[in-house]
Structure 1
Amino acid sequence: MTAKILLVGSVMMDLILRCERAPEPSESVLGHDYRNAPGGKGSNAAVAAARAGAQVAAYASVGNDSNGDYLIERWQEAGIDTTHTLRRDGNTGFVAITLEDNGQNRLIIFPGVNMETPPDKLEEALDAGADAILLQFEIPDATNARAIELANERGIITVLDAGPARTDGLHGLPPVTVLSPNETETKALVGIYPTDEASCLEAAQKLQEKNGCKYVLLKLGERGSFVYGEGIAQLVPPFQIENVDPTAAGDAFTGAFTKAFVETGDILEAARYGNAAGALTCTKLGAQPSVPTAEEIDALLARG
């Protein structure tokens, strides 16, 4: 089967600023170069799912501006259905990213019209059919809550990327199928930074108690991922790569994982697939331009 995935989430224009190091307060530094690229946590995950072979549609908001035009075109090139993508007066979401020579990145997010994505048109988008919904914290809480409620009623898988980091991010949200924060997002939600298997387990248990989700899937960067739920508590090892730019690695993980989870039903196999997609994303510059294809993921998996 081919996974049918609906993005209910964000889309942004990224500005990537490359420099030796980020400036200290009141300091100026010379940069190497800068460039724009399509991004946004939701959009990155949607593109990752599409490139991995899923059938993807987007319920999201972009501005009536040149950035909005550009981002819609990039989605359509990626094969993403934009029938339910909304155009709004105002600014398309924007992210300023400093990327240092050591691979460290820092992001400033301007949500723009992402925060005007309404809950009242979700049923129409879901009526087109979906096996899974991708969610993040870059759209209104009411829209996320309604999407999860509708998905639970219809037996649709929900995968919540719990970013950006928020201490109150889970407040008022119905239970999701898979709750997937990274380390800093985990710390924000339950006060535990997962550094080893024991702290991963403790954090995952608290996250499950807080949301009632079926699974917790911790994204651990260069340490891989950790799966908890339904009798599973297991680290899934990473793939060794040369880190060029980690931007969107977690988003690529989420999109590829969701595609694999829908198609296989095996959360450990899907997490390994996500690890491979996230690792490959780190080997190139930019967010969506670095997201791998199914063929690239399969080749890395074959190498072990």
Structure 2
Amino acid sequence: MSTKIAVVGGSFVDIYIYGDEPHGCEVVEDCGGSGLNVAFALHQLGLQVFFFSNVAKDHRATFLLNKLQRFGFDTNHITVKDGETGLHISFNDRTIAVKRGVNDLDVDVDWKVVSECSFAFINTEVSKRTIENFLKNFQGKIFLDAGPRHILSDDIRSLHEDLILIGNESQCERIACDVIKMGPSGARWNELHIAGDGLAHPYTTGCGDVFDAVLIFSLLKGEERRVALEKAVKVSQEASKSFKSALAKAQAVKDLLEDVEAGLSTSP
């Protein structure tokens, strides 16, 4: 699938701490940021992704860029700016600290490159000015995730005529979303509801990003809403069972989707 998509979002280094005893904890360090996770998952699914984001000239950026490049991910549109690369820390799957760093700066978008894309994804990890500017100037369909910050205004739809707004239940209490992610309860697209398994799985960080990527990929393949939503729910659910980092979930998304599709094809 050679579809081109522009993704504008944050880049962070993620540190995950699992356990309760200081000398018995497991510490996982990986690339992260919801924008990066969605971009990487879409890349794994075979789309041509142009990812626009900020990092700084520091050891975190070196770690992040080197790892992405080893996976064959295009980092040419990640801009190096003065400051600190973003840092996210979680403890037993609960976020305890976020240093936004250069994610607070406006993202430099190459509009010549973006003009080749009919689709785009953006979320609230970037500055509000970057979001509003992108919505006003992009010519194709935009998937906008309201997370992770509550910075969107009620009139956000007035900035772009072809917008699919995605968010979790708390985010969608403030603005009218098309797609609502409901955790173990599944997801809803207006009146359409796909139930989840109702279970609390241990590794939920980044599952919303996997959901977004699978939903977008399925829709761009021409699948109907019910099918796309069901696949997004099931793949994100499977990802939460054993993959500890968000990027590991994004890296596994192709295999997870194939397993889900195989299961759906054999269902009565």
TM-score category by the smaller chain?
0.7 to 0.9
Query: Which residue in 2 is equivalent to 1:198?
Result: none
Aligned-partner Cα distance in 2 for 1:183–1:89: 35
Query: Which residue in 2 is equivalent to 1:116?
Result: 105
1:16/1:36 contact within 8 Å kept = yes
Measured against aligned partners, the alpha-carbon deviations of 1:148-194 in whole angstroms (never above 9, x if no partner) come to 1222xx2x12111111241x42356324521111122223x25xxxx
With structure 2 as the length reference, what TM-score do the two structures score?
0.87
Aligned-partner Cα distance in 1 for 2:130–2:63: 25
Q: What amino acid is the match of 1:180?
A: I
Please, which of 250, 253, 260 is the counterpart of residue 293 of structure 1? Answer: 253
Aligned-partner Cα distance in 2 for 1:30–1:81: 38
The residue correspondences of 1:77-116 to structure 2 (distance < 5 A) are: 77-99=70-92, 104-116=93-105
2:231/2:260 contact within 8 Å kept = no
- Pair 1:177-2:135 in alignment: no
1:280/1:297 contact within 8 Å kept = no
The residue correspondences of 1:107-256 to structure 2 (distance < 5 A) are: 107-118=96-107, 121-127=109-115, 129-151=116-138, 154=139, 156-166=140-150, 168-170=151-153, 173=156, 174-175=159-160, 177-187=163-173, 189-190=174-175, 207=176, 216-228=178-190, 233-238=191-196, 243-256=201-214
Query: Which residue in 2 is equivalent to 1:266?
Result: 224
Alpha-carbon deviation of 1:126?
A: 0.6
Alpha-carbon deviation of 1:41?
A: 0.9
Q: What amino acid is the match of 1:282?
A: S
Alpha carbons of structure 1 residues 171 and 275: separation in structure 2 relative to 1, 3 Å? same
Structure 2: runs of 5 or more not aligned:
none
Partner-residue secondary structure (3-state), 2:189 = strand
Alpha-carbon deviation of 1:117?
A: 2.9
Measured against aligned partners, the alpha-carbon deviations of 1:3-51 in whole angstroms (never above 9, x if no partner) come to 322111111101111134xxxxxxx977622121111010111111112
With structure 1 as the length reference, what TM-score do the two structures score?
0.77
Aligned-partner Cα distance in 2 for 1:109–1:135: 19
Query: Which residue in 1 is equivalent to 2:32?
Result: 39
Alpha-carbon deviation of 1:241?
A: 7.5
Aligned-partner Cα distance in 1 for 2:137–2:33: 24
Structure 1: runs of 5 or more not aligned:
21-27, 191-206, 209-215
Q: Percent identity?
A: 20
Aligned-partner Cα distance in 1 for 2:110–2:236: 29
Aligned-partner Cα distance in 1 for 2:90–2:143: 25
